[in-house]
Amino acid sequence: MALPSRARVYADINSHKPREYWDYESYVVDWGQQDDYQLVRKLGRGKYSEVFEAINVTNNEKCVVKILKPVKKKKIKREIKILENLRGGTNIITLQAVVKDPVSRTPALIFEHVNNTDFKQLYQTLTDYDIRNYLYELLKALDYCHSMGIMHRDVKPHNVMIDHENRKLRLIDWGLAEFYHPGQEYNVRVASRYFKGPELLVDYQMYDYSLDMWSLGCMLASMIFRKEPFFHGHDNYDQLVRIAKVLGTEELFIYLEKYHIELDPRFHDILG
């Protein structure tokens, strides 16, 4: 039986907030009109959504529309509640409105527009100063959400928008974000493989904000060493092996012992 863990910082934020702050299941969404937004072009698609550049016809301003694919209402409510709680926070993408298509009832989220440069192309050209600048801005975004009792759980280059011309950074895609409550067991099927912390790879469910710091560390390493991704595992097992090959197994085993974490037998052959 694994031992519980507790965040070293911001552990009790949500216990000091009113219930409606974190109880997203009881949240009632105030849906607006989709007619105010005209889609211009498709920017991309993910597992849970399709994203478009759009125009707000009421003021002629560019915005981004994220049309959600059919998922549990609970997940949609969680994303909206978190975005509303974080609105105005340092380097957090601004949620401008939530709307529903009048006919299909498909929900969509309206965000501020960021003139983004693709990270995979950008990071090749960044100077030492640029790297420090953008990582500091990303750290400010993470410190802000953590100080508000929220883990992002999907930090990766794809979710960091950088307008290099204006030196503006925004942390986006809060679809996997969750409220932190000490001792709560969370789903380990979060974050993208190359950015998953060891706790996810060994199925330890009582993780905390430090999950996001690992992902940030992976981005930092990839920028410094110009190797994207930095830990390139073929599957979740190989991912932990790649990490251990760089950082050693000694501290991994100390960690497993400390929290009484049982390692999947498949690891014994590959980690020794």
**CATH code, 107:** 3.30.200.20
The answer to whether residues 124 and 243 belong to one domain is yes
Residue 159 falls inside a structural domain: yes
Residue 272: its pLDDT value, please? 66
Residue 109: its pLDDT value, please? 98
Please identify which of the residues 154, 173, 208, 212 carries the catalytic annotation.
154
The answer to whether residues 123 and 222 belong to one domain is yes
Residue 265 falls inside a structural domain: yes
Residue 22: its pLDDT value, please? 99
Q: How many domains does the chain divide into?
A: 2
Residue 30: its pLDDT value, please? 94
Residue 92 falls inside a structural domain: yes
Residue 47: its pLDDT value, please? 86
* CATH number of the domain residue 177 falls in: 1.10.510.10
- In terms of residue numbers, what domain contains 222? 119-271
The answer to whether residues 107 and 150 belong to one domain is no
Show the 3-state SS of the chain: CCCCCCCCCCCCCHHHCCHHHHCHHHCCCCCEEHHHEEEEEEEEECCCEEEEEEEECCCCEEEEEEEECCCCHHHHHHHHHHHHHHCCCCCECCEEEEEECCCCCCEEEEEECCCCCCHHHHHHHCCHHHHHHHHHHHHHHHHHHHHCCEECCCCCHHHEEEECCCCEEEECCCCCCEECCCCCCCCCCCCCHHHCCHHHHCCCCCCCCHHHHHHHHHHHHHHHHCCCCCCCCCCHHHHHHHHHHHHCCHHHHHHHHHCCCCCCHHHHHHHC
Residue 151 falls inside a structural domain: yes
Residue 270: its pLDDT value, please? 78
Residue 103: its pLDDT value, please? 86
Residue 3 falls inside a structural domain: no
The answer to whether residues 100 and 145 belong to one domain is no
Residue 245 falls inside a structural domain: yes
Instruction: Based on the residue annotation, tell me whether 163 is a catalytic residue of this protein.
Output: no
Picking from 60, 83, 112, the residue at the C-terminal end of a domain is 112
Q: Is 66 labelled as part of a ligand binding site?
A: yes
Residue 48 falls inside a structural domain: yes
**Quick one: which of 66, 64, 76 has its CA closest to 29?**
76
Enumerate residue ranges in the chain where pLDDT < 70: 272
The answer to whether residues 96 and 130 belong to one domain is no
Q: What is the C-alpha radius of gyration for the chain, rounded to an integer number of angstroms? A: 20
Residue 37: its pLDDT value, please? 97
Picking from 112, 137, 168, the residue at the C-terminal end of a domain is 112
The answer to whether residues 82 and 125 belong to one domain is no
How far is it, in rounded angstroms, from Cα 33 to Cα 229? 40
Picking from 112, 143, 161, the residue at the C-terminal end of a domain is 112
The answer to whether residues 93 and 179 belong to one domain is no
The answer to whether residues 134 and 267 belong to one domain is yes
